[in-house]
Chains A and B, each alone.
Chain A
């Protein structure tokens, strides 16, 4: 089996739950479960001519391939997340074979168990806050007739005022993002702030001031949504996504036990 690798999607804790029938993963391959040390790994066998190191270098830069693979990965994680607590794994984590996945589950058992215990009964919600672009930067007035002596000074003054306005908007928006984050954090068990997305990616040209992820108890999901609704308005637009599998809260540190 030199030409095949084992692609890992996620690790879950409930060995008793069977892998969903007919679940297809990346490259259209069947997903199966590997049980070891009280944990379950969801994997597919994938061809190394696609998922080997060299081909991946190329294909990861191919947005179509990347998109299809990311969606497939995500579908499996979501399907598995419906069964119980799950720790999603980074996209395209490929092992040489089942044996290595078993070893992983065995050697990092405690880390996975801790992570899974933390996300059990909880869901991740994503919140993005955009500054609504109602008015652009204030229109600079035409140079006043009483300052004909130095248009340069007048310009500098306007420039200064415009900079100040912009700085104030930045600060104001930043402070409001902080407040929103604080309110939401109180309802959540854990929170994390992702980087603000480029407009190309978000598909919106408004300025993103908050890109947060919140781990929320399932029974508090409605409370979370209400808290979010209360924060709407005042020139800030809030976008809620989810529930997600706890992608943002299952990061295992590098350098754990080998």
Chain B
């Protein structure tokens, strides 16, 4: 089924005379790519059981996804591909270290710890060092 063609086995003789010789090229993706997305488009009123070809093609592009189409469709695997995106893990790590540092720095500044957020203020948990949140919880708890 997924037999690959050896380069060099070329020419007319590659078309065997027998139908059942198993000359099934490549994979399903290759076949679909050709028979569905590229082929004669029969236009107009002649096509009776009119398939919603566009819709179908879009659905199949979820499978036969290209970089361009996939991006439009919100498929962004490559943005999480470590090779393509570089150092995501390092970024997370760096971020964590920086937060720890900020927390440590704020530790030495009691004045700032006294500042409480205004009631109802939208608070970004991410920007806020963990220790402050804990401190606030302690105050409220006690």
Contact = CB atoms under 8 A, between A and B. Distances in A.
A58 to B, nearest CB: 11
B71 to A, nearest CB: 11
A53 to B, nearest CB: 5
Contact of B51 (A53, A63, A222, A250): A53
A244 B15 CA distance: 10
A240 B5 contact: yes
Nearest to B26: A241
Contacts of A159: 86-87, 91
A202 B43 contact: no
B5 to A, nearest CB: 5
A218 interface: yes
A162 interface: yes
Interface residues of A, number: 92
Interface in A55-94: 56-57, 60-61, 63, 66-67, 70-71, 73-75, 77-79, 81-82, 87-94
Interface of A: 5, 8, 11, 20, 23, 48, 51-53, 56-57, 60-61, 63, 66-67, 70-71, 73-75, 77-79, 81-82, 87-96, 100, 103-104, 107, 115, 126, 133, 136-137, 140, 151-152, 155, 158-159, 162-163, 165-166, 192, 194-203, 207, 213, 218, 221-222, 224-225, 228-229, 238-244, 247-248, 250-256, 258
